[in-house]
Structure 1
Amino acid sequence: MRSEVSVIFKNQAPVRIELHDVEPMPSEAARRWLDEQFTQMGCEPLRPTGKLLTADKVVVVAEAAGPVKFADAQWARAFAGAAAAALGRPMVNIDVTTLSISY
């Protein structure tokens, strides 16, 4: 089954990370990885209520990472694996400019 995560940054070519040869990450491990990145990068919830959905966390971590962090292939693959597993979708498109996700 094809699996890919793409991340779009303003005025940049989309970053596409294929996961076809990567062992799927367990859902709980994916959530923990995203939580760790969220904390390490000093991210803030998108919503003023402080409620943080998994999809919001994926977008905020991608935004905080920026194109520079995605240039690190190992980090990018870990992010893509965690995003796909946490969201339960093989194809994930993250648009950082609009803070949105599509499947």
Structure 2
Amino acid sequence: MLYQVIVVFGKDKEYEFKMSDADLAGRSAEEARRWFDKEFADLECEPSNPVGKVLIIDKILGVARGGGEARFAAGKDWAHDFARQAALALGRDTIRVDAVNFSISY
């Protein structure tokens, strides 16, 4: 199976990452959630709902915003880790993370 994660920072600012089953092999959704927990804290992201539980979707969006467009534009390890962890955490083969509009679609 082919996995695709697209991170959007506005018009003509889309960063696409493609992975295969082999790229995700040996990793779990729980490990991905822990990665997002750590990045969310390290980047000092603010919860979108200050009185409620922070969902994995909120963490993915917060980490995308907090990590910033430059990290995705560079396409280095952190950006690839983000994409891999998002695919694992959400269990979807196609994910569109819109950091500007704070939304995720499949």
Q: Give the structure-1-normalised TM-score.
A: 0.91
**2:57 equivalent to 1:55:** yes
CA distance in 1, matches of 2:28, 2:102: 25
Corresponding residue number in structure 1 for 2:23:
22
Partner of 1:39: 41
Contact between 2:24 and 2:88, CA under 8 Å: does it hold in 1? no
**Larger relative strand fraction:** 2
Instruction: Tell me the matched-pair count.
Output: 103
Q: Which runs of 4+ in 1 moved over 6 A?
A: none
Q: Percent identity?
A: 39
**Contact 1:19 1:77 survives alignment (8 Å):** no
Letter in 1 for 2:63: V
For the 8 Å contact 2:5–2:87, the answer to whether it is kept is yes
Q: Alignment RMSD, CA only? A: 1.4
Displacement, 1:49? 1.5
CA contact (8 A) 1:17 1:80 kept: yes
1:72 CA drift (Å) = 4.3
Q: Which moved more, 1:28-37 or 1:41-50?
A: 41-50
* Structure 1 runs not aligned, ≥5 long: none
Gapped regions of structure 2 (runs ≥ 5): none
Q: What is the TM-score of this pair, normalised by structure 2? A: 0.89
Cα offset, 1:69, TM superposition: 1.8
Q: 1:47 Cα deviation (Å)?
A: 1.1
Q: Please give the per-residue CA displacement for 1:33-82, whole angstroms capped at 9, x wherever unaligned.
A: 11110011001111131421111110110011111122242111110111
Secondary structure at the counterpart of residue 101 of structure 2: coil
